């Protein structure tokens, strides 16, 4: 049975035969052979190269970012109190409806507080009712005193008229007239004092009632908040959706405000992405965006950009035009390209692994039988094209494949 000889072994044997033949050849032949052998070591196969022709065209400059598909609407459900989990009624991935219980927390101490608050509130309500009844009675008595005094003053006024009439016909005396007038004036002053007292008492009692009513209102608010906490003790779903996260370890402690569940609406999606700090100034709200998911490309726009950097990157959110596309799934990685400028005419070459951003590069130009390294300056880019600022003219053929291991060579032969 024939044995297959590995490629490395074949090359080693070929070199061995070459050296054996060179040892038997003349010096001139040896030199020529060495030159040919060295030249073959700095050559590349044309079939392994990606060669494209530089051309002039329009360029919509974009900045690349990495992103992830998330539900367009998610709501985080937090624990209302410090407690521990007693029961679990759902699991991540379940479809839930509004009001459906997700977890049950230990609320024994909270329920006791709620009952105490309810009793205190009821006491304050009763006290306010009694205060209003007492105030109404006091004002009624004072109002009655005013009315009685008004009647007394009216009577004193009549007495003054009678005494004056009697004095005019000689049946009365000036002294009696003066006494009647004095009594009348005194009565009027007393009536005015009672009226002012009634007004002041109304304002004073109203202020006392307002203060008591405020206490009742505060008590009602505290009671309502505690009642809400008791209702939320079973952690109901805030709306219809998919349960994407649930703290489902029975017996574990949870703190007030701690995330215990996340409900997502999986009918619509958005993309959260982040761009390096150095390129963040190019990402602005409203900018057009292309989002690539495997072989699908979706349109969108930048919804908002976070004001702070996180770990050397600036997060931003993309709103999708087709937010309900069937290819969208939560958690899918996406490539995001944010447009930030447009040039009507520029020398363009294909984008590739060689390009890492605007600056100087060493690019190989295809001149037929050989590749010549050239220093060029590259500028803006998008997913397909890179702008040539200097060093390449339209019509020249450029190697856009990865040539990093050959950058020490000025020329390469093409096999």
pLDDT, tens digit (0-9, with 9 covering 90-100), for 249-272:
888 888 888 898 999 888 889 999
Task: State the pLDDT at residue 32.
Answer: 45
Burial code of 387-408, b = ≥16 C-beta within 10 A, e = fewer? bbbebbeeebbbbbeebeebee
- Contacts of 251 by beta carbon, 8 Å cutoff, 6+ apart: 84, 85
Bigger pLDDT: 275 vs 241: 275
- The residues spanned by each domain of the chain are 62-96+254-341, 108-232
Task: State the pLDDT at residue 164.
Answer: 87
Task: State the pLDDT at residue 40.
Answer: 43
Distances (CA, A) of 322 to 49, 290, 297, 301, 319: 38, 12, 11, 11, 9
Cα 266 from chain centroid (whole Å)? 18
Question: 398 with 348: CB under 8 angstroms?
Answer: no
Question: From 3.20.20.70, 2.40.30.170, 2.30.40.10, 3.30.540.10, which CATH number describes the 62-96+254-341 domain?
Answer: 2.40.30.170
- The per-residue pLDDT for range 311-340, each reduced to its tens digit, is 899 999 999 999 999 889 888 999 999 999
What is the Cα–Cα distance from 315 to 165, expressed in whole angstroms? 100
Question: From 1.25.40, 3.40.470, 1.10.287, 1.10.3470, which CATH number describes the 108-232 domain?
Answer: 1.10.287
Task: State the pLDDT at residue 57.
Answer: 94
Please state, rounded to an integer, the average pLDDT across all residues of the chain: 85
Question: 404 with 362: CB under 8 angstroms?
Answer: no
- Give this prediction's pTM: 0.53
Q: Do domains 62-96+254-341 and 108-232 have the same CATH topology?
A: no
Task: State the pLDDT at residue 20.
Answer: 57
Task: State the pLDDT at residue 377.
Answer: 96
Task: Give the pair of three-digit tokens for residue 324.
Answer: 């309900």
Q: Give mean pLDDT, residues 55-73.
A: 91
Question: 400 with 354: CB under 8 angstroms?
Answer: yes
Distances (CA, A) of 384 to 31, 110, 355: 47, 61, 11
DSSP secondary structure string for all residues of 33-64: HHHHHHHHHTEE-GGG--EEE-EEEEEEEEEE
């Amino acid at each position: 049975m024939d044995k297959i000889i590995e490629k490395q072994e074949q090359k080693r044997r070929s070199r061995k035969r070459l050296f054996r033949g060179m040892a038997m050849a003349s010096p001139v032949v040896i030199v020529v052979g060495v030159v040919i052998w060295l030249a073959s070591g700095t050559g590349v196969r044309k079939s392994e190269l990606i060669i494209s022709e530089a051309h002039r065209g329009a360029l919509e400059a974009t900045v690349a970012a990495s992103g992830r598909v998330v539900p367009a609407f998610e709501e985080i459900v937090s624990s209302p109190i410090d407690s521990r989990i007693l029961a679990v009624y759902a699991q991540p991935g379940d479809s839930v409806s509004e009001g459906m219980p997700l977890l049950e927390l230990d609320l024994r101490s909270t329920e006791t507080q709620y009952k105490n608050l309810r009793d205190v509130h009821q006491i304050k309500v009763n006290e306010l009712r009694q205060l209003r009844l007492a105030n109404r009675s006091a004002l009624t008595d004072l109002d009655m005193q005013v009315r009685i005094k008004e009647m007394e003053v009216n009577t004193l006024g009549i007495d003054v008229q009678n005494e004056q009439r009697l004095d005019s016909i000689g049946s009365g005396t000036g002294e009696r007239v003066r006494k009647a007038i004095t009594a009348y004036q005194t009565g009027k002053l007393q009536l005015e004092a009672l009226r002012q007292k009634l007004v002041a008492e109304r304002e004073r009692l109203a202020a006392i009632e307002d203060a008591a009513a405020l206490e009742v209102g505060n008590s009602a608010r505290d009671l309502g908040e505690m009642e809400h906490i008791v209702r939320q003790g079973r952690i109901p779903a805030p709306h219809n959706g998919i349960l994407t996260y649930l703290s489902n370890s029975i017996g574990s402690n949870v703190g007030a405000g701690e995330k215990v569940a996340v409900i997502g609406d999986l009918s619509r999606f958005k993309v959260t992405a982040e761009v390096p700090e150095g390129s963040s100034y190019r990402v602005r709200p409203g900018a057009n965006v292309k989002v690539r998911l495997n072989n699908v490309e979706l349109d969108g726009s930048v919804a908002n950009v976070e004001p702070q950097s996180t770990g050397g990157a600036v997060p931003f959110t993309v709103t999708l035009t087709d937010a309900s596309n069937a290819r969208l799934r939560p958690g899918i990685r996406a490539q995001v390209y944010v447009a930030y400028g447009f040039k009507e005419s520029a020398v363009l070459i294909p984008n590739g692994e060689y390009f890492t951003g605007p600056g100087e590069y060493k690019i190989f130009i295809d001149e037929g039988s050989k590749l010549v390294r050239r220093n060029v300056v590259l500028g803006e880019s998008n997913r397909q094209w890179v702008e040539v600022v200097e060093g390449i003219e339209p019509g020249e053929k450029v190697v856009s494949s990865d040539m990093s291991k050959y950058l020490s060579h000025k020329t390469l032969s093409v096999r």
